[in-house]
Amino acid sequence: MTPPVIRDAREADLPEILAIHNDNIAVSTAIWDNEQVGLDDRLDWWKSRNAAGHPVLVAEIDGRVAGYASYGQFRPKIGYRYSVENSVYVADAYHRRGIATALLAELVERARRSGTVHAVIAAIESTNTVSIALHEKFGFRTVGEMPQVGWKFGRWLDLTLMQLTVPMPSGPPAAESSDIRVPPVS
């Protein structure tokens, strides 16, 4: 088998990324959506990740997108600005070929080199033992279990939260003026 080339996604990759995304919506509990999305959705997602400086990677084999991975800010509050949540998805035809491993390896390396990521979070449906094992291989550890917080395919879904702490190359951030805001007294 040809080894995958891991590279930054381009706009031309979005139709294949969309197909992988929608397939996961339709047949798996990896994505907790019930409705498939259109190309505009993936274009907006890709543009917003790029604008934020967050990677969107693809694994390419013989000119085809075999999988994709990305991370984005974990939660929207400013206090979470050094924490990201990752996603890794592989096209069904390419499962068990090391694609997810190659994608996650590069994603973790990008987080380490970023200088702006301290915690990488993985929120994984608890029966997805393959994804949990993959993340463990890269040093993620389980930090929480949330029973019955999702609903899909007529059943409750449990969520496993995993975390990888990444040392920031320049050390922890210094206190910033934006850390605390005191409202004016009237």
Nearest C-alpha neighbor of 103 from the set 66, 151, 144, 52: 66
pLDDT recorded at residue 167: 87
Edge-to-edge strand list for the sheet holding 141-152: 5-8, 56-61, 64-73, 83-90, 119-125, 155-165, 141-152
Total domains, the chain: 1
pLDDT recorded at residue 22: 96
Q: Is residue 174 part of a domain?
A: no
**Amino acid letter, 27:** V
**Amino acid letter, 140:** F
With bands split at pLDDT 50, 70 and 90, how would you rate the model's confidence at 120? very high
pLDDT at 110 over 70: yes
pLDDT recorded at residue 58: 98
pLDDT in tens, 13-43: 999 999 999 999 999 999 999 999 999 999 9
pLDDT in tens, 171-184: 666 666 555 566 67
CATH of the domain at 33: 3.40.630.30
Q: Is residue 173 part of a domain?
A: no
Name beta bridge partners: 12: none
CB 148 within 8 A of CB 159: no
Domain span including residue 20: 5-165
Tell me the HSE value of 28 on the side-chain side, using a 13 A CA sphere: 17
Residue 36 dihedral angles phi and psi, to the nearest 5°: -70, 160
Q: Is residue 172 part of a domain?
A: no
pLDDT at 122 over 90: yes
- What is the overall mean pLDDT for the chain? 93
CB 143 within 8 A of CB 161: yes
Q: Is residue 128 part of a domain?
A: yes
Q: Is residue 117 part of a domain?
A: yes
CB 123 within 8 A of CB 131: no
With bands split at pLDDT 50, 70 and 90, how would you rate the model's confidence at 103? very high
Q: Is residue 142 part of a domain?
A: yes
Q: Is residue 53 part of a domain?
A: yes
Which residue has tokens 């997810």? 100
Q: Is residue 181 part of a domain?
A: no
Which H or E run contains 125?
A: strand 119-125
